[in-house]
């Protein structure tokens, strides 16, 4: 199917990038080799998103739970983030990509935070595609930080108490780190695992889910197109009768 004939393109595609370690192991290499190779898949999916007219592409890059990996692997992953951002930013900016990082940024090193801030500032007016990297993120952490900030607003601003108590789902959405970003239409997880691993628990409430066996470093344009084709066939009913 070519870009011209593809119908029902999701506004927001989200990818749980899993299987880097297994990809490397299959080749008799260290796990980190899979992470390096995975950057090529990120590039391919960003390019495909621009081609197909996807407006938001989000990537689960590092979970809160991933801090529990061996320190050496964590350090390599964090170094890789800084390098990938430095290497890719010219091309992303030139192609109209707005770059956003969401997650528990307090846990990130100063150098990484500085790189993130400068990339976000540089690309903030771009509108072709918003690329969101979830870093040090978990769904439960997001809901908890939203509830905490809501409680702080109630304590510091008593005149808002009633408004906050009466607010609905949309009001709570504004406290999540994803405020202003539409919920994902499609969440794809690679590597054959059928779980969310604490990802977008609130925002993914009505997302279409797709679990594919492909390991992340092998998930390139062809696999991305197949995921869009699978989504195009879905019937989203939102609890109603059609
Ligand atoms: C995904 O690949 C990358 C991150 C979670 C950071 P993994 O490192 O989880 O690879 P597998 O699942 O062990 O193969
Ligand atoms: C999920 O992958 C997190 C990311 C892809 C960033 P993991 O490999 O950490 O998940 P589990 O441990 O298999 O659930
Ligand atoms: Mg994994």
Q: For residue range 27-77, what is the model confidence (pLDDT) as tens digits?
A: 999 999 999 999 999 999 999 999 999 999 999 999 999 999 999 999 999
Give the whole-angstrom CA distance, residue 221 versus residue 23: 18
CA angle, corner 77, sides to 208 and 219, nearest 5?
40
pLDDT, tens digit, 9 for 90 and up, residues 181-202: 999 999 999 999 999 999 999 9
18 is catalytic: yes
Contact 123, 93 (CB under 8 A): yes
- CA-nearest residue, atom 1 of ligand 2: 197
The neighbouring-strand residues paired with 209 are: 187
CB 35 within 8 A of CB 29: no
Report the candidate in 215, 216, 185, 222 with the shortest Cα–Cα distance to residue 200.
185
Q: For residue 95, which phi and psi values (nearest 5 degrees)?
A: -90, 10
Residues, beta carbon < 5 Å, ion ligand 3: 18
pTM as predicted? 0.97
Pocket of ligand 2 (CB under 6 A): 16-18, 60-63, 66, 193, 195, 197
């Amino acid at each position: 199917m070519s870009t011209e004939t593809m119908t029902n393109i999701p506004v927001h595609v989200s990818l749980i990038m899993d299987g880097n370690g297994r990809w490397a192991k299959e080749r008799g290499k260290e796990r980190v080799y899979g992470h390096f190779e995975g950057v090529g898949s990120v590039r391919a999916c960003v390019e495909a998103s621009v081609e197909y007219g996807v407006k938001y592409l989000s990537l689960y890059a590092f979970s809160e739970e991933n801090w529990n990996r061996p320190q050496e692997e964590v350090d390599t992953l964090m170094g890789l983030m800084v390098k990938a951002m430095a290497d890719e930013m010219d091309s992303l900016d030139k192609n109209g990509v707005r770059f956003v990082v969401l997650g528990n940024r307090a846990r990130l090193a100063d150098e990484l935070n500085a790189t993130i801030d400068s990339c976000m500032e540089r690309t903030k007016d771009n509108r072709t595609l918003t690329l969101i990297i979830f870093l040090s993120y978990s769904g439960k952490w997001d809901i908890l930080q939203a509830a905490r900030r809501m409680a702080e607003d109630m304590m510091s601003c008593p005149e808002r108490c009633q408004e906050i108590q009466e607010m609905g789902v949309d009001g709570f959405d504004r406290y999540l780190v994803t405020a202003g970003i539409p919920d994902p239409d499609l969440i794809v997880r690679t590597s054959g695992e059928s779980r969310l691993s604490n990802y977008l628990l609130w925002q993914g409430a009505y997302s279409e889910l797709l679990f594919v066996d492909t390991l992340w470093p092998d998930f390139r344009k062809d696999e991305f197109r197949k995921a869009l084709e699978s989504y195009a066939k879905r019937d989203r009913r939102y609890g109603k009768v059609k």
